Amino acid sequence: MKKVLSAGNIITCLSCIFGLIGLIIYAVNVNSEGFFRGNRVAAVVTFGVIAMIAAVVVILLTILPVKGGAAKVVDLLVMVCKVLVPVMLMIAAMTLLANRVAGFGYIFGANEDVRAEVATAENIASAMVAMVAIGFDYVAGIAGIVAAFFLPKRED
Amino acid sequence: MKKRHLNALALGLTATFASVMVISITGASIANSFRTNIDAMFGTKSYEIVEGADSARFNKKYTTVDEMINAARNVAIKEGQEGTVVMKNDNSVLPLAANGKVALFGIGAYATFPYLSGDLRAGNADAVDLKTAFTNAGFTVDAKVAEVYEKITNKHIETVVNPWTGEESQAVAYSVAPAVSPGDMVQFTNNEIPAGKLAEKAEVSADWVNAIDHSATAFVVISRGAGEGNTYSPTLKAKDYAGNDTNRTALQLSEDELGIIELAKSSCSKVVVLINSGNNLELGEISKGGTHEVDGIAYIGCVNDYQLTGVVDVLSGKVNANGKLADTFVYDNLSVPASRNIGGGIFKDYQIVAANSANGFDSRWPNVDIETGVYSSFASRVSYSSDSYIVEAEGIYVGYKYFETRYYDSIMNPSFKADDPAGSRDGNAWKYDNEVLYTFGSGLSYLEYDQELTDINIDKSAEGNITAQVKITNKGDKAGLFTAQLYAQQPYTQHDKDANVEKSAVSFLNSAKVLVDANTSKTVTITVPTKYLASYDASEGVKTYSLEQGDYYFTAANGAHEAVNSFIKAQGKTPTVGTGENTVKSWNSATDDITTFSKGYNGYGITNQVDNADINYWLPGAVTYMTRKDWSTFPKDYTLDANAFTIANSAKKDEWIKEFRGQQYKIQTDKPATEGKDLGMKFGVDSAIGDDVLANINDDYWSKLVSQITIDEALGAVLHGGSQTDVLTNVDNPNVSQNEGVSGFTAVLFLEDGCTYKEQTGSPVYKFNVHSQTLLATSFDPELALEWGEVEGNSGLWLQRYDLWGTGLTQRRTPYNGRNYEYISEDSMLANRLGAKILRGCANYGIINGPKHLGANDQEFKRAGLNEFMTEQKLREGDLRCFQAALEPKDGGGLAVMIAFNRIGSTSACQNVGVCANILRNEWGFTGIISTDMATNSYYFIAEAMVMATITQVADFQTGDNHINAGTGGVDAVWPYISVDSVKNDATLVEQARQNLKYQLFTFANSAVFNTKTIKLTPWWESSIKALTVVSAVLAGMGAIISIGLTFVPAKKED
């Protein structure tokens, strides 16, 4: 239990949860009425899922009872996955941001004529949801980075 | 413990820096998309326009206008030197003895077509006519003959009124001259004055002929005019100079012309006939064994200001005769299979297409009766222009491909019934030498020479080339120019026979001109893309270009007949007509390859695009296209009423009627378009656009730029963009005027001291439209084509005009098309190779040169609506191939094209998505301007269909208006069903219009319209992102190494 509930695993778990929330909010964003309806970005899902799988792998490998040389290999895998989690989440966040930023510009930053047409309540809501999704991905990524500073203790 | 903490720290830092690295990498990509905005925010610059002497991307090659003029003059003279074809040369008539005497007969000798300045002829003050050319070359021109003809032709100056502008000017005119315009399938008038009337017309004594110097060599010039809106009738008998009916058709030598030839024969020692025409004349009577046989015949094409100097250089022997015929000359032009279907048949039930109360009205024009007649292309009628058709039943067998293939089969494939009387001119068994006088690629040389294919390499990859080494051996006693020609034969397989894939027994690939010293040899390399060796197979299961399994043969020869004879000999048989023992190389394709050449630009899949161009698509079994496996399928005349088609008999009648009416696309009403708004992006000529953006039409910059175009202007600029492109409100693009013509820019350069371009009335002028397309064609010299293209391009820079319809590449399907003199050949590869070089030459100097008329403009008669039924193989390997290399970015790099007036099948060429969008843009990768021909009939030129076919501008010659023209109630004045309200809910249509304008703006940016150079700068924020990426990558790497190292280093044991 101690191993499972290690600080690193808890933060990794939080990272996974935030990433999942980010994916759910992204799914809401593309399926809801508004500026970004139907605007799917496959990479967001792909990288988000990879990140979550990596996070689960970290947790599972952490509790795997191994010793000696096998433990070294497992530790290496854990390290790789610990780096993979935040990197994948950052890619997901940045990819979604790259896709949505032009729309944010039209809705919030364009001239009056454009905003008069585009900055409807629906579109603003859609933009806000997109921002929240991006935000959760970033937070998940930061959590992943923090989790990387925690290595599992192995009992000799 | 410490080790574990260190390891955790290293890992954490690795994760941190790796994340920073991916953020900076993806952030750099985002920043690049918003470069302009970020620069504006930070006050930085990413591009800088170069000022000063190096500021232009496209620079004039000639630093003074005299150099420019000399270059134009020199290339025109070279066209004469390289394009003059000596077809017959007996009794040592040519070359002329130095400083000898010549006598010039025929009105064409004194008014050589084209003789009036305008579109086709520059008419510069220093132009050289035939008499002057001979005199300049040191010959004495018989004064008596000249006196008679000069009095008759009476060259003088007249005041002429421009029919388009009403402007008056002084121009050269003649009292008697060859007919400039033969008319459009009407009775031709041959203005040649008969021998017996010369004295009377010239008001000289009847015995004037006694004064002719008998030692002179006579040159009789036989001329035929041509022009837009003209088609020679194959069958109507011509009138003579007095308006009397004759028993000769327009392209036969008239009795009066033959009479002049006989006069020349009786008056002079020897006679040479010069053929001054872009349309093939029937020359049997003056050729070997003819009733009026002459000593020599030379083809001089349609000349311009300076070509006759070059022509005389050849006639005098100063230049070795090296021109080659670009078409096949036959005894009887009606024996050309395409001649069987010219003019136009009328559908039996053509009225079924009309919109009226009986058939139902067209919802686009409620309660408007719309008829179906095809009228003049300059007339505006309420008609779908749908009732007429021709069937191009000859398929790929145009010109020599018919005659030489049938000849080959008469020897090699007796079962193909090559000797069947079908197609023979006298109704007897078909024989090659009874049909053909002078074949494609033939032409005599004064110097004896051999050409030998010494090596050939076939690179079978998609972008590969056929590379041939041809050795020319000059056996003469002086240096000379020679023409090397490369020919190929593809295997005609059982699959071809089963699937109706036609293969010519001989196909021209490419040529080269080479100067060889006396008694020496020189090897020239000829290359051509391998993809042109593949055939288009439209059959089920293939539907793409196929390089079939089997043996391919190659040879170098003086013409198609010599080539096919060489193939016959190499394959173990004996030719029956003429000789041909040139070296033949073979190459075997081990497998049927339907993959390598099945992809176009960027991997776009090549497949059938014009299935419905075949009449059998609509009426199965209606037509049997000619096939070499049975030459008795020589085409029948489907224009006869007895053979006319019935639309109602088609199971696809409703679909067919939609094509006739241009209803391929229906304006949608359920998908709102986004209105264009000013985003602050401007496209002035002083805007900085980076090279990377200029090279990539898919860069975000272009999409954003055109997203600003309003719905009104998006449709308006496409539909009313002819003659000049106007300024788009939110884009601020430059205004660009279009220019003519196929002989070069017709615009005038006003000269003054210092040679600058200023409009000053009365000052000396120069015109650069000095080119002869016919003589360039018979030069067979791609490098000369490049030279002309560069001269044409440079003249545009001097004139400060950057956009013209500056060449013609349509395949010469029959001898009768009045535009043949603007086009290159019956052979699509000769047009392909020369056309690519002309356009490359222009593109090198940023000039937008649009060739005419893509889409089988096979006749002028009824061109504005004529249904032209053909197979896909014929379209692709025929007319489209003529244009392909010119318009592909990696080859000619052409920046514009004009689409033909006619229908391909029953779909108007300019509304044909399969051709304009899928083949031209997607397969070939063409991103340039596509214009229609003159759109005078809004019931035939359908607005929405043209937009969807990616047309960038409709030639309606409106100026100063990019809007949906205000008609009554805010609708378009030309298409009243088009308004902002009617199209604003069709996002597909609006976005396509914006995309079409994207092609236009992209083309302007890549031309001399936008002749600035920019250099890329790296603003501090970009440097910072790059630095962050590098530093974070290094630190992440270091962290990873440390972490891995700490993982595998054993822990210190605690004592």
pLDDT number for residue A37: 80
Nearest CA to B343 out of B641, B95, B685 is that of B641
In chain B, what are the domain boundaries? 2-37+1020-1048, 79-319, 445-608
Domain B79-319 fold is Rossmann fold (3.40.50)
| Residue B913 pLDDT > 50 | yes
Mean pLDDT of all residues in chain B? Answer: 93
> Does the pLDDT value for residue B436 go beyond 50?
yes
Q: Is the pLDDT of residue B164 over 70?
A: no
Contact A79 B11 (CB under 8 A): yes
How far apart, in Å, do the first and last CA atoms of chain A sit? 17
Q: Which two tokens stand for residue B1028?
A: 């962050």
Q: Write out pLDDT tens, residues B768-790.
A: 999 999 999 999 999 999 999 99
Residue A51 is predicted with a pLDDT of 96
Q: How far is CA B924 from the centre of its chain?
A: 15
**SS3 for A60-100, per residue?**
HHHCCCCCHHHHHHHHHHHHHHHHHHHHHHHHHHHHHHHHH
Q: What are phi and psi of B820, to 5 degrees?
A: -55, -30
Residues sharing a CB contact under 8 Å with residue A128, sequence separation 6 or more, in sequence order: none
Structure tokens at B808: 């013609």
The CA-to-CA distance between both ends of chain B, in Å, stands at 14
Nearest to B7 among A102, A141, A151 (CB): A151
**Across B401-412, average pLDDT:** 98
Measured CA to CA, the distance from residue B609 to residue B544 in angstroms comes to: 10
Q: Which of A85, A97, A146 sits opposite B30 (nearest CB)?
A: A97
Report the alpha-carbon distance of residue B901 to residue B910 in Å, rounded: 7
Our CA-based measurement puts residue B1048 at a distance from the nearest CA of chain A, in whole angstroms, of 7
| Lookup: tokens for B96 | 């002329």
CA atoms within 13 A on the CB side of B98: 2
Q: Across residues B153-166, what is the average pLDDT?
A: 82
Asked if B512 contacts B469 with a C-beta cutoff of 8 angstroms, the reply is no
Give the Cα separation of B996 and B1010 in Å (integer): 19
| Phi, psi of B563, deg, nearest 5 | -65, -45
* β-sheet bridge partners, residue B551: B588
The CA distance from A82 to B680, in Å, is 45
CA distance B815 to B440: 13
Q: How confident is the model at residue B379 (pLDDT cuts 50, 70, 90)?
A: low
Range in B44-48, B74-78, B666-670 the model is least confident about: B44-48
The answer, yes or no, to whether residue B537 has pLDDT greater than 80, is: yes
User: Is pLDDT at B1055 greater than 50 in this prediction?
Assistant: no
Which distant-in-sequence residues (6+ apart) come within 8 Å of B364 by Cβ?
B975, B977
Question: Which residue from A76, A86, A110 is facing B15, i.e. has the nearest CB?
Answer: A86
DSSP B118-147: SSS----TT---HHHHHHHTTPEEPHHHHH
**Torsion, Cα of B165, B166, B171, B175 (10° steps):** 120
Q: How far apart are CA B322 and CA B447, in angstroms?
A: 9
Cis omega (within 30 of 0) on the bond before A86?
A: no
Tokens representing residue B578 in the block: 């003429």
Task: Give the pLDDT band (50/70/90) at residue B754.
Answer: very low
Does the beta-carbon distance from A94 to B30 stay under 8 Å? yes
Give A110's contacts in chain B (Cβ within 8 Å). Answer: 677, 679
| Domain B445-608 -> CATH class | mainly beta
Residues of A in contact with B34 (CB under 8 A): 101, 105
Over the stretch B547-600, which tens digit does the pLDDT of each residue have? 999 999 999 999 999 999 999 999 999 999 999 899 999 999 999 999 999 999
**Residue B477: CB atoms within 10 Å:** 10
Query: What φ, ψ does residue A89 adopt, rounded to 5°?
Result: -65, -35
- Give CA–CA dist A139/A141, Å, rounded: 5
> How far apart are the CA of A112 and the nearest CA of chain B, in angstroms?
10
Confidence class for position B49, pLDDT limits 50, 70, 90: low
Q: Could you give the residue ranges of the DSSP H alpha helices within B444-537? A: 494-499
Is residue B181 predicted with pLDDT exceeding 90? no
Residue B421 CB contacts under 8 Å (≥ 6 apart), including other chains: B427, B428, B429, B430
Structure tokens at B669: 């009403």
User: Could you tell me the pLDDT band of residue B33, with boundaries at 50, 70 and 90?
Assistant: confident
Express each pLDDT in B700-719 by its tens digit.
899 999 999 999 999 999 99
The Cα–Cα gap between B233 and B224 comes to 13
Residues of B in contact with A117 (CB under 8 A): 675, 677
Which residues of chain A have a CB within 8 Å of the CB of B16? Answer: 86, 145, 148
Among B50-59, B265-274, B301-310, the least confident range: B50-59
Contacts of B14 in chain A (CB under 8 A): 83, 148
Chain A positions touching B3 (Cβ under 8 A) are: none
Shortest distance, CA A17 to any CA of chain B (angstroms): 19
Q: How big is the CA angle at B665 (ends B664 and B666), to the nearest 5 degrees?
A: 125
**Residues in B lying within 8 Å of A, measured between beta carbons:** 4, 7-9, 11-12, 14-16, 18-19, 22-23, 26-27, 29-30, 33-34, 37, 675, 677-680, 1040, 1043-1044, 1047-1048
Q: Which of B662, B719, B726, B663 is nearest to B974 (CA)?
A: B719
- Residue with the bigger pLDDT between B921 and B41: it is B921
The mean pLDDT of B977-998, rounded to a whole number, is 95
pLDDT at B1019 over 70: yes
Pairwise CB contact (< 8 Å): A83 & B1040:
yes
What confidence score (pLDDT) does residue A151 get? 83
pLDDT at B932 over 70: yes
Residue of A nearest to B1053 (CA): A156
